[in-house]
Homo-oligomer: A and B are copies of this chain.
Amino acid sequence: MGMVGGGEGSMIGPVHRMAARLDGLSELVTAAFSSDPAITALTGAREGIDSSRLYPTWQEMISNESRQPEGIRPHFISIVTPNHLHYGPAKMALEAGFHVICDKPLCMSVAEAIDLYDTVERTGMMFCTTYNYSGYPMVKLAREMVLGGSLGDVRKVAVEYFQGWLASPVEKSGNRQASWRSDPARAGIAGAMADIGTHAFNLAEYVSGLEVVTLSADLHSVVPGRVLDDDGSVILHFSNGAGGTLLASQIATGEENNLSLRIYGEKGGLSWRQMEPNTLTAMWPDRPPEVFRTGTTFTDSGLAGRMHSRLPAGHPEGFIEAFASIYRNFALDIIARQEERHADIKADYPGIHDGVRGMKFLEAAVASGLSNSARKTV
């Protein structure tokens, strides 16, 4: 694999690298980690990459590496830059014949997203958008239960994602993560909604198996001087008539990374919290709640859940493992294609479609937020 972005000081770059390493299926062989060559050299040395394959720009990397012989050239490029630097490298990489793993949100606009979608279609390359929370075993199980009908018709989806790290203007005091996320030129049209709201949106659609058709949003820029939203509440209407809410905030003081999903159907309900990700609680109208857990061997725990667990029950698996499952599934899919067969297992991972959905959600939410929560189509 090759990597664009993720040099020293990046938060998500090391996560991608640990995720790629965990299962031993992907090796980082080339990179353009930073626009600063010194940073690229430093990170490259730490990662043990041959210095001849460290590039000052992603353009050079993609261009040069695409001319490497089979067996040497990376199979895929991982893009872990701020949002404004997703579209360019993604498109160039696809056209140069690389599969692509790209961080979220996909890009800066629905127009860019559709262009990427078309590019994927045209080139036939594979694409993964790292909506990584879908990689948790209990999220897989939840989706399996919903699609398998355990809940009956879905009636209500409540997803929320609360953080507190932007409760004060840390972007003004040198916090690099905050800096680009609060800058429209690099983050795009939305702040919290882009950074975490899209994760929540993907989780809601992924587990429910439904699409959001319209929404009403209320967005706030709470911290004085901040241009983009740092807090918002969205009412969702799903394709089957179900209602829902998506709450996202980065000014929920004291919250860490509190993503949760509850989904209620005619016959049951499910509750999952990312901060204790190995537990999925199923609630029933006529019998006690059941507590499904990562790594148990019960036959009803589901194929999807078991396939994405690496340890026996009670040995906690976390964020890196879930992220690694995204990488592993993508790698397994690449291998399956190389071997001209279907993957033995359904190696699902969020793709270009999920990326496009995220951008449609963002544009609708921002439009609704600007017009007094008027209902907008997603």
**Which A residues contact B (CB, under 8 angstroms)?**
11, 14-15, 17-18, 21-24, 47-48, 151, 155-156, 158, 160, 162-165, 167-168, 216, 218, 220, 222, 231, 233, 235, 237, 243-245, 247, 249, 251-258, 262, 264-269, 274-277, 281-293, 295-296, 298, 300-301, 310-321, 372-375
When A and B form their complex, which 9 residue pairs have the shortest distance between CB atoms, in order from nearest?
A: A254-B283, A256-B314, A257-B314, A316-B318, A318-B318, A315-B319, A256-B313, A254-B269, A288-B290
Q: Which of A21, A276, A320, A375 has the most CB of B within 10 A?
A: A320
Assuming the contacts A231-B155, A316-B316, asked whether A291 and B293 have C-beta atoms less than 8 A apart, the reply is no
The CA-CA distance from A88 to B269 in the complex, in Å, is: 40
Contact of A243 (CB < 8 Å), options: B218, B275, B286: B218
Given contacts A218-B243, A320-B321, contact A156 B231 (CB under 8 A): yes
- CB of A6 to closest CB in B, whole Å: 14
A283 near B253 with CB under 8 A, answer yes
A253 touches B151 (CB 8 A): yes
Of chain B, the residue at the smallest CB distance from A316 is B318
A18 near B22 with CB under 8 A, answer: yes
- State how many angstroms separate the Cβ of A21 from the closest Cβ of chain B: 5
Q: Do B266 and A262 touch across chains, with their CB atoms under 8 A apart? A: no
A296 contacts which chain B residues (CB < 8 A)?
256, 288
Chain B residues with CB under 8 Å of A165's CB are 312
Q: Is the CB of A257 within 8 A of B312?
A: yes
Contact A315 B318 (CB under 8 A): yes
Interchain nearest-CB distance for A367 vs B (Å): 14
Given A256-B293, A373-B375, the answer on whether A310 and B300 have CB atoms closer than 8 Å is no
A275 & B318 in contact (Cβ 8 Å cutoff): no
What is the chain B residue whose CB lies nearest that of A14?
B310
Q: A232 CB to closest chain B CB, in angstroms?
A: 8
- Specify which chain B residues have a CB less than 8 angstroms from the CB of A267 in the assembled complex: 253
Bound complex: CA of A83 vs CA of B216, how far in Å?
32
CB-CB nearest in chain B for A276: B276
Q: Is the Cβ of A269 less than 8 Å from the Cβ of B317?
A: no
A293 to B205, CA, bound (A): 30
Say whether B222 contacts A155, CB under 8 Å.
yes
Q: A275-B316, A288-B296, A373-B373 are in contact. List 12 more A-B contacts (CB 8 A).
A: A15-B311, A21-B24, A156-B231, A167-B264, A168-B285, A220-B243, A222-B243, A235-B235, A253-B265, A254-B282, A275-B314, A320-B320
